[in-house]
Amino acid sequence: MKLQKFLSPFRKAIEDYQMIQEGDRIAVGLSGGKDSMALLRGLSELKKFYPRSFELCAITIDMGYPESDFTPLSAFCEELKVPFILEHTDIKEVVFDIRKEENPCSLCAKMRRGALNQAAKRAGYHKVALGHHFDDVVETFFLCLFYEGRIHCFAPVTYLDRTQITVIRPLIYLKEGDIRSFVSEESLNVQKSLCPADGNTKREEMKQRIWQLNGDYSDLKKKVFTAIQNSGIPGWKYQNKE
């Protein structure tokens, strides 16, 4: 996917949900995965011509894996002229060594979000951009339904009272395949996850189930996404069907 084609739904999501205001200071959660790399690349390009000026930085959470190498991420940020912040944590030790979590994703995600938000606040950034995309929206909806028994999904924009951080998700209109294509087109140096649970999670299981259902029911994911928009779930705005 070419840059201009990528930026069209990217900008539309930002404007539909008024994610960026004049003078915003936005910290991008940069894990090194395809989604966060595409997100930072998109925001750095948008910054050049968007009518509302904003500042960017990238924050990477060091989970504590000894084999971690953050040089490629630092170089990527230097290329984009975006300040790079590396936040050291002991999340790996707490989750896998001390608590030995059988299902580590929930605790790990909570700790990573906390570390990211605190690092952003310390650096003077009041918004945090995350790389959740179209498919993540649909998967989260089904995860909440199947495992929690509730109709729910994360919102495109979320204000966190405790930290006074606003979380934005500009990739929500882009499908995972679109992002994969964009990353390939841009030759972005995606980093392999070091998490021992990578590829063996409830989300990955749900992804496979949805993929199967999408083959049986035409445009299932698109219909579910539209249903989420029109459901009254907090943070989502009604969208007319095209």
- Residue 152: phi, psi to the nearest 5? -160, 160
Predicted pLDDT at 198: 79
On average, the pLDDT of the chain sits at 94
Task: Examine the pLDDT at 240 and tell me if it is beyond 80.
Answer: no
How far is residue 13's CA from residue 131's CA, in Å, rounded to a whole number?
13
Helix (H, G, I), strand (E, B) or coil at 62: strand
How far is residue 148's CA from residue 146's CA, in Å, rounded to a whole number?
6
> Where are the extended beta strands (E) located within 21-83?
24-29, 54-62
| Mean pLDDT, range 62-69, rounded to an integer | 94
Question: Model confidence over 196-219: pLDDT tens digits?
Answer: 877 778 899 999 999 999 889 989
Q: Could you say which architecture CATH assigns to the domain 3-229? A: 3-Layer(aba) Sandwich (3.40)
Question: Is the Cβ–Cβ distance between 42 and 14 less than 8 Å?
Answer: no
Q: What angle do CA 228, 137, 173 make, to 5 degrees?
A: 90
Please report which confidence band the pLDDT of residue 241 belongs to, taking 50, 70 and 90 as the band edges: low
Question: Model confidence over 95-115: pLDDT tens digits?
Answer: 988 887 777 888 899 999 999
Question: Is the Cβ–Cβ distance between 23 and 53 less than 8 Å?
Answer: yes
Question: Model confidence over 124-140: pLDDT tens digits?
Answer: 999 999 999 999 999 99
Start-to-end CA span in the chain (Å): 23
29-65 burial, b if ≥16 CB within 10 A, otherwise e? bbbbbbbbbbbbbbbbbbbeeeeeebebbbbbbebbe
| pTM of the predicted protein model | 0.95
Domains of the chain by residue range:
3-229
Task: Examine the pLDDT at 242 and tell me if it is beyond 70.
Answer: no
Question: Model confidence over 148-197: pLDDT tens digits?
Answer: 999 999 999 999 999 999 999 999 999 999 999 999 999 999 999 888 87
Task: Examine the pLDDT at 20 and tell me if it is beyond 80.
Answer: yes
Task: Examine the pLDDT at 2 and tell me if it is beyond 90.
Answer: yes
How far is residue 107's CA from residue 63's CA, in Å, rounded to a whole number?
13
Q: Which of 40-44, 84-88, 212-216 has the lowest mean pLDDT?
A: 212-216
How far is residue 52's CA from residue 34's CA, in Å, rounded to a whole number?
26
Question: Is the Cβ–Cβ distance between 30 and 37 less than 8 Å?
Answer: yes
Q: Which of 51-60, 184-193, 194-203, 227-236 has the lowest mean pLDDT?
A: 194-203
